[in-house]
């Protein structure tokens, strides 16, 4: 294939990527740190806005074939454009937040040039990744993306937790790319091509189908954060600088979801067992991801576990789509894949909002421990409202965007039960209960977060709490998107429907998603919002006319209420966390008086990751013990190192020779 199609929109995309890379040159050419950062960040922002415009133009005015092939290496098909739009949409408010976040570090005399370089490289490589049409180019972009994220992650490398978390990340990144090498080498062996547009191996007729599916599920599942491959995520995301952790959780995890969709394109139609495997892994991830989050007190670690939960919800939609593919039921494919794709967009938006909000809190208070927070609503009402919007959205509560995508997935359960009969209704009912349970735990978790962080009185003195216009703009864009998609989902659902019809369901166009009466939902939500606003106006008028009575909160008979007389995060979630405490590795430390003379009482709780503490660390200890038995591995003589390299080259050469 030597197809070259350069439309105005695709040329605009290439220009935007060049402009983004230009920001790296700008920051190193200008000597003054502050001026260099401001100029480079502005250039980067301009390039990203241009890129989003080009992606939207390409989606609105597609090529006659539905694909734009640029020199065989890049392909702008509907699926790639959808993920490209998500990357650029989330990157824009994140870059705006950079003005606030990195200026704070410049004031602390910390160089930001390297971070901006790595962050820009991450943005560009991720955009190229989702538009790559060549397997080798895809792998190169993947490796650049992973290493740029790692190098940006160690911005504060002097901290021990940063060293540990980044080690987890880079180790897992190299392990999964090795699996991807095997995956694409097998595809090349089966098809004789390196081009994605040439890959189509019907699962039922290819003996390598199951092998390719399992390899893809493991590799892309590790990147996405499905359990039990999630263990790196709660260690790596909290320690990254806030703009990077927001982008990692909001976008980089979605490259794993993108990989699963591409794999489906290569292998479709897939057998039904693939759908059940994805459903089982996803439901497990959703339930225990949110349960682990409920047990956390580090706000960024808590949000990292919620990423595991929401990746599980996306996976449930993908699993339903696989079942629809196996049974040749386009209706189920549209609903399942539609819910997954829309939740991918929604999660990118509200999770970025929550990470930026938590970053603003950390920047002002110097702690991520929510047990030490409180009363922030009195210092920044705008931040409290924006964070509440993100919390409602991630909990799947109407009328915000998280509800819309989860509603589609719930509809998929009922559609599957109706279409397939037999044992499917009871299984789908169990999945409905499971997903509803996830929503309940998410609501409980963010009730805890908002109550402890923002309400009440501060648990320790807050010297100052500064927010600026860049914080307001970045939070405002993301909060507005949560509201718009929730109140007016029709165009976004239509976009998802178009992507599925042109990329994932061969030869069958359907308007099933578009015909789900979204205007009724919009009308209901708008009516409720107007009614609430009217009641609020009535309340204000009533207070102006009659005044309002203010009194101290009731404190169980105590005359002088202190900040300690409030719920803590530990006590709020204790009963729910005690239920699966063996799986959550949940520990409690209670200090109470057992004498007639009271002592200071304390209650603390802590949760460790089961996979990390019960599986990985024991295995690492065993490996360490085995290596210690081979004393020659500890030699520092350069000749031993050269011999090891030579032996490795020989082994690889033999494998390559035998493979050919």
Helix (H, G, I), strand (E, B) or coil at 452: helix
Neighbours of 643 (CB within 10 A): 13
d(CA 544, CA 512): 50
CB atoms within 10 A of CB 583: 13
Burial track 438-465 (b if 16+ CB lie within 10 A, e otherwise): bbebbbbbbebbbbbbbebebbeeeeeb
Counting residues of the chain whose pLDDT is more than 90, the rounded percentage is 42
Band of pLDDT at residue 257, cut at 50, 70 and 90: very high
Helix (H) or strand (E) holding 644: helix 638-659
Note the pLDDT tens digit of each residue in 530-543: 999 999 899 888 88
Contact 28, 115 (CB under 8 A): no
Contact 99, 470 (CB under 8 A): yes
For residues 166 and 153, is the Cβ–Cβ distance under 8 A? yes
Rounded to an integer, what distance in angstroms lies between the CA atom of residue 383 and that of residue 405?
A: 25
- What pairs with residue 589 in β-bridges? 604
Task: Check residue 9 and give its pLDDT.
Answer: 62
Q: What share of the chain is helix, strand, coil (3-state, %, to 5)?
A: 75, 5, 25
DSSP for 144-204? HHHHHHHHHHGGGTTSHHHHHHHHHHHHHHHHHHHHHHHHHHHHHHHHS--BGGG----GG
Query: Residue 587: which residues within 8 A CB-CB, separation 6 or more?
Result: 605, 606, 607, 608
Convert the pLDDT of each residue in 212-256 to its tens digit. 999 999 999 999 999 888 888 888 888 889 999 999 999 999 999
- Report strand pairing: 586-591 vs 74-75: unpaired
Neighbours of 363 (CB within 10 A): 17
Q: What SS3 state is found at 474? A: helix
Residue with tokens 């794993």: 256
The predicted model scores a pTM of 0.91
Contacts of 364 (CB under 8 A, 6+ apart): 462, 464, 465, 466, 467
Closest residue by Cα to residue 172 from 116, 110, 229, 242: 229
Residue 553 has pLDDT above 70, yes or no: no
The pLDDT tens digits of the residues spanning 301-332 come to 999 999 999 999 999 999 999 999 999 899 99
Within 8 A by CB and 6+ apart from 438, the residues are 286, 287, 290, 309, 312, 313
> pLDDT tens across 380-428, in order?
899 999 999 999 999 999 899 999 999 999 999 999 999 888 888 999 9
Average pLDDT rounded to a whole number, residues 627-632: 66
Q: 394: closest CA among 324, 293, 471?
A: 293
> In the structure, what pLDDT confidence band is assigned to residue 72 with cuts at 50, 70 and 90?
confident
What is the tens place of the pLDDT at every residue in 506-534? 766 677 888 788 888 888 889 988 999 99
Q: If residue 476 lies in a helix (H) or strand (E), which one and from where to where?
A: helix 469-487
Residue 651 half-sphere exposure, CB side, CA atoms within 13 Å?
6
Is 297 exposed, middle or buried (CB count within 10 Å of its CB: 0-12, 13-18, 19+)? buried
247 near 352, Cβ under 8 Å? Answer: yes
Which of 97, 151, 67, 129 has the alpha carbon at shortest distance from 478?
97
Please check the confidence at residue 5 and state whether its pLDDT lies above 60: no
- Give me the residue label for tokens 């339930």: 287
Question: Of 389, 581, 365, which Cα lies nearest the Cα of 486?
Answer: 389
| Residue 13, phi then psi, degrees to nearest 5 | -65, -45
Between 403 and 583, whose confidence is greater?
Answer: 403
CA distances from residue 441 to 30, 303, 434, 649 in whole angstroms, order as listed? 50, 14, 11, 52
CA distance 512 to 143: 38
pLDDT tens digit sequence for 589-620:
777 767 766 667 777 777 787 788 888 888 88
The answer to whether 457 and 375 have CB atoms below 8 angstroms apart is yes
């Amino acid at each position: 294939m030597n197809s070259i199609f350069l439309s105005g929109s695709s040329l605009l995309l290439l220009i935007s990527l060049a402009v983004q890379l230009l920001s790296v040159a700008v920051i190193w050419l200008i000597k003054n740190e502050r001026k260099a950062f401001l100029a480079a960040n502005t250039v980067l922002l301009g390039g990203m806005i241009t890129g989003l415009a080009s992606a939207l133009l390409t989606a609105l005015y597609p090529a006659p074939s539905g694909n734009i092939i640029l020199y065989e290496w890049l392909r702008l098909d509907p699926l790639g454009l959808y993920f490209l739009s998500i990357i650029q949409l989330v990157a824009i408010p994140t870059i705006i937040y950079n003005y606030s976040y990195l200026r704070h570090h410049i004031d602390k005399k910390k160089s930001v040039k390297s971070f901006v370089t790595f962050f820009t490289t991450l943005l560009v490589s991720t955009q190229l990744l989702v538009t790559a049409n060549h397997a080798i180019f895809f792998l190169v972009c993947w490796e650049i993306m992973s290493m740029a994220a790692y190098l940006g992650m160690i911005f504060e490398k002097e901290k021990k937790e940063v060293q540990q978390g980044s080690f987890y990340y880079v180790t897992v990144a190299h392990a999964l790319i090795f699996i991807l090498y095997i995956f694409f080498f097998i595809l090349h062996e089966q098809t004789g091509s390196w081009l994605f547009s040439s890959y189509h191996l019907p699962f039922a007729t290819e003996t390598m189908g199951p092998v390719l599916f399992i390899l893809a599920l493991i590799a892309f599942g590790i990147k996405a954060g499905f359990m039990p491959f999630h263990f790196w995520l709660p260690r790596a995301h909290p320690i990254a600088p806030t703009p990077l952790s927001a982008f990692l959780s909001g976008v980089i995890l979605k490259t794993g979801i993108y990989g699963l969709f591409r794999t489906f394109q290569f292998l479709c139609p897939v057998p039904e067992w693939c759908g059940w495997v994805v459903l089982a892994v996803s439901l497990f991830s959703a339930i225990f991801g949110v349960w682990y989050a409920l047990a956390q007190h580090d706000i960024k670690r808590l949000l990292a576990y919620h990423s595991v939960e929401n990746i599980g919800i996306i996976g449930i939609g993908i699993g339903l789509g696989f079942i629809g593919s196996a049974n040749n039921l386009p209706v189920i494919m549209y609903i399942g894949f539609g819910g997954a794709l829309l939740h991918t967009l929604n999660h990118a938006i509200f999770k970025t909002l929550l990470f930026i909000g938590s970053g603003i809190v950390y920047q002002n208070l110097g702690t991520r421990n929510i047990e030490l927070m409180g009363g922030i609503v009195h210092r920044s009402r705008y931040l409290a409202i924006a964070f509440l919007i993100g919390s409602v959205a991630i909990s799947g509560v109407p009328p915000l965007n998280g509800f819309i995508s989860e509603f589609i997935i719930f509809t998929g359960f009922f559609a599957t039960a109706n279409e397939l009969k037999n044992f499917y209704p009871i299984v789908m009912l169990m999945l409905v209960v499971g997903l509803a349970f996830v929503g309940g735990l998410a609501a409980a978790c963010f009730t805890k977060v908002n109550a402890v962080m923002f309400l009440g009185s501060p648990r320790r003195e807050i010297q100052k709490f500064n927010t600026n216009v860049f914080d307001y703009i970045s939070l405002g864009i993301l909060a507005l998107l949560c509201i718009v998609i929730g109140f007016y989902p029709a165009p976004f659902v239509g976009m998802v429907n178009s992507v599925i019809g042109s990329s994932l369901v061969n030869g069958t166009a359907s308007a099933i998603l578009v015909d789900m009466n979204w205007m009724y939902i919009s009308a209901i939500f708008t009516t409720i919002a107007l009614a609430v606003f009217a009641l609020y106006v009535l309340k204000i008028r009533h207070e102006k006319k009659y005044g309002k009575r203010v009194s101290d909160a009731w404190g169980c008979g105590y005359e002088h209420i202190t900040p300690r007389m409030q719920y803590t995060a530990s006590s709020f979630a204790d009963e729910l966390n005690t239920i699966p405490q063996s799986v959550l590795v949940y520990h409690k430390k209670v200090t109470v008086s057992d004498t007639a003379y009271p002592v200071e009482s304390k209650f603390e709780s802590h949760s460790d990751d089961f996979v990390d503490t019960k599986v990985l660390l024991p295995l690492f200890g065993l490996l360490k013990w085995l290596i210690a038995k081979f004393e020659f591995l500890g030699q520092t003589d350069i000749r031993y190192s050269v011999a090891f390299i030579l032996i490795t080259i020989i082994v690889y050469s033999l494998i390559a020779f035998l493979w050919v």
